[in-house]
Amino acid sequence: MDQRFTKKERLLKRKEFQRVFDNGKAYGNDQVKIYALLNDDSVSRLGLVVGRKFGNAPKRNRFKRIFREAYRLNKSLLSKGVDIIIIPRPGLSDLSLRAVEDKFKRILSQINEELAK
């Protein structure tokens, strides 16, 4: 199984982000808000939106690094191609990979259930 996180698996353009925000379904927990939208491709793509209100640059970069890794390790849970945007909620304190990954897996399973309908 390919575990890499390639450029093809990233949301890069503003138009792509806007399409997910406008048409996607919102999921979330106490840590993050996630928008997901089925795409026309077989490859799932990830986008991260972390504003300055979240913290200083090292904190924002750590958040992005941990969520990219959590996505990379669990992207096989998605059965179809989905565009996903992750936005941190204020007050997010526990940024350990294990804690983030457990909650992220639950949200990915919710997304899969919605897509199966």
Q: Distance between CA 88 and CA 92 in Å, rounded?
A: 7
pLDDT number for residue 96: 85
> Would you state the CATH architecture of domain 8-116?
2-Layer Sandwich (3.30)
The sheet carrying 32-38 orders its strands as 25-28, 32-38, 82-88, 45-48
Q: Are 114 and 76 in contact (CB under 8 A)?
A: no
Of 1, 71, 73, the C-alpha closest to 36 is 71
Q: How does pLDDT run across 42-59, given as a tens digit for each residue?
A: 889 999 999 998 888 998
pTM above 0.85, yes or no: yes
